[in-house]
């Protein structure tokens, strides 16, 4: 069984150990190691190392070996970068993180994200050690996204070695975009996904009705296609995390009283022309928003703490009027026009025990604010 060799600059500052991987990898789904699931890699004769023909011709994956049977160098970093999202994502929550982190339950059993996207809140909670000893389940309906998370978790060094060969070049981009992901092995699919995400226009993920990625080349002078330390940090954070392709309804069965669920769905559009909800080619319309609101209410009634973010529009105010609702300002970075990127109002909704907890916090904060605002009496 061979090893995937990495160049010195890729592994600089890291001590590596070799762990054999078979085609089927046993993965812990609990951060305490109680449960397991199996990620079965597609077995074929393609190598994960691509080569481009002269003049950026057809991209070729030469048949040099089988990635599923390779050994993986698992890096043990001496200094680890902060865990943070490794993909750009429409509606990503980096700018809203302070508001979200202020509204996390003081205590909870396990953590669920049914719309994981870029995973900003998950990675922030990992950095704060607030998920230690808890089972974590991250899901999304996007097959390519979840495959990429799994590869970052399980085969990060092989992924880094492959990504480091990719080019910020328009011809190369369109050849990569034209590849059929179903004909690639999981590591190749993940590398393609990250590459397209880093080099496409505005970091959008958009598919046509045939399910084919159709975002044009971004024409960036520089693009950080491969960020090895960021990927390694994400891999460390994802160890023991359950990653599944699933719709948001699945969280009803997977969550239990005392758990914490964060929902970051495709936002209700602020106007007919401002809608960007077709993340998977199927869209996320008003009926889906209604179903999600019903689910959030039901979870809260079962004793599950739920925090949800959405746009501040009449529809969402109506859907969540019976729950704890706060309006905050957030910076939106993805818009076709740069002059329309800025701070906009968004809603944060709480249900279940978190709803009561946030209301108590708000009530306790009012006297403190009043005392601070009152003039001193001498």
Give 245-288 as a 3 state SS string. Answer: ECCHHHHHHHCCCCCEEEECCCCCCCCCCCCCCCCCCCCCCHHH
Residues 302, 331 contacting (CB under 8 angstroms)? no
Cα–Cα distance between 244 and 166 in angstroms, integer? Answer: 27
pLDDT of residue 95: 82
54-68, 94-108, 152-166, 263-277: range with lowest mean pLDDT: 54-68
DSSP secondary structure, 318-345, as one string = HHTTTSEEEEEEEE----SSGGG-SEEE
The kind and range of the H/E element at 151 are helix 143-154
Band (272; pLDDT cuts 50, 70, 90): low
Band (52; pLDDT cuts 50, 70, 90): very low
Average pLDDT of 27-34? 38
Phi, psi of 308 (to 5 degrees): -130, 140
Pick from 151, 37, 109: which is nearest to 256 by CA?
109
- 83-378: what CATH class? alpha beta
Residues 322, 297 contacting (CB under 8 angstroms)? yes
Average pLDDT of 247-270? 96
pLDDT in tens, 343-371: 889 999 999 999 999 999 988 887 655 55
pLDDT in tens, 212-232: 889 999 999 999 999 999 999
Block residue for tokens 């074929």: 44
Residue 259, pLDDT above cutoff 60: yes
Band (58; pLDDT cuts 50, 70, 90): very low
pLDDT of residue 75: 54
Average pLDDT of 243-269? 97
pLDDT in tens, 112-133: 999 999 999 999 999 999 999 9
Q: What percent of the chain has pLDDT above 90? A: 60
Phi, psi of 63 (to 5 degrees): -85, 75
Residues 64, 51 contacting (CB under 8 angstroms)? no
Cα–Cα distance between 135 and 256 in angstroms, integer? Answer: 12
Residue 186, pLDDT above cutoff 60: yes
pLDDT of residue 69: 34
Q: What percent of the chain has pLDDT above 70? A: 69
> Buried b / exposed e across 312-339, counting CB within 10 Å, b at 16+?
bbeebeebbeebbbeebebebbeeeeee
Q: What one-character DSSP code corresponds to residue 93?
A: -
How much is the pTM?
A: 0.77
pLDDT in tens, 76-93: 554 568 999 999 887 667
pLDDT of residue 122: 98
Band (331; pLDDT cuts 50, 70, 90): confident
pLDDT of residue 190: 98
Mean pLDDT of the chain: 78
State how far Cα 330 lies from the chain centre.
Answer: 19
């Amino acid at each position: 069984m061979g090893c995937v060799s990495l160049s010195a600059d890729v592994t600089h500052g890291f001590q590596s150990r070799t762990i054999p991987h078979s085609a089927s990898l046993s993965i812990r789904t609990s951060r305490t190691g109680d449960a397991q699931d199996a990620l079965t890699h597609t077995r074929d004769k393609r190598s994960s190392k691509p080569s481009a023909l002269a003049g950026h011709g057809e991209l070729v994956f030469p048949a040099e070996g089988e990635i599923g049977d390779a050994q993986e160098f698992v890096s043990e970093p001496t200094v680890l970068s902060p865990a943070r999202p490794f993909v750009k994502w429409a509606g990503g929550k980096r700018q809203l993180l302070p508001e979200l982190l202020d509204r996390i339950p003081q205590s909870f059993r396990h953590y669920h994200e049914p719309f994981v996207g870029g995973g900003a809140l998950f990675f922030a909670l990992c950095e704060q050690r607030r998920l230690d000893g808890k089972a974590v389940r991250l899901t999304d309906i996007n097959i390519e996204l979840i495959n990429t998370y799994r590869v970052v978790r399980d085969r990060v060094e092989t992924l880094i070695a492959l990504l480091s060969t990719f080019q910020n070049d328009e011809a190369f981009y369109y050849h990569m975009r034209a590849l059929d992901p179903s004909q690639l092995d999981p590591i190749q699919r993940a590398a393609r996904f990250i590459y397209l995400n880093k080099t496409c226009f505005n970091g959008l993920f958009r598919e046509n009705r045939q399910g084919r990625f159709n975002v044009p080349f971004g024409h960036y002078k520089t693009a950080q296609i491969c960020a090895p330390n960021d990927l390694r940090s994400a891999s460390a954070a994802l160890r023991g995390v359950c990653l599944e392709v699933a719709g948001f309804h699945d969280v009803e069965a997977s969550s239990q009283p005392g758990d914490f669920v964060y929902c970051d769905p495709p936002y209700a559009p602020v106007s007919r022309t401002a809608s960007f909800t077709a993340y998977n080619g199927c869209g996320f319309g008003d009926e889906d928003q209604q179903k999600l609101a019903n689910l959030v209410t039901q979870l809260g009634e079962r004793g599950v703490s739920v925090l949800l973010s959405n746009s501040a529009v009449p529809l969402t105010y109506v859907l969540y009027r019976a729950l704890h609702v706060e309006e905050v300002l957030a910076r939106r970075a993805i818009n076709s026009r740069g002059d329309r990127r800025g701070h906009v109002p968004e809603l944060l909704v709480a249900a279940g025990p978190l709803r009561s907890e946030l209301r108590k916090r708000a009530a306790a904060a009012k006297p403190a604010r009043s005392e601070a605002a009152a003039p001193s009496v001498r």
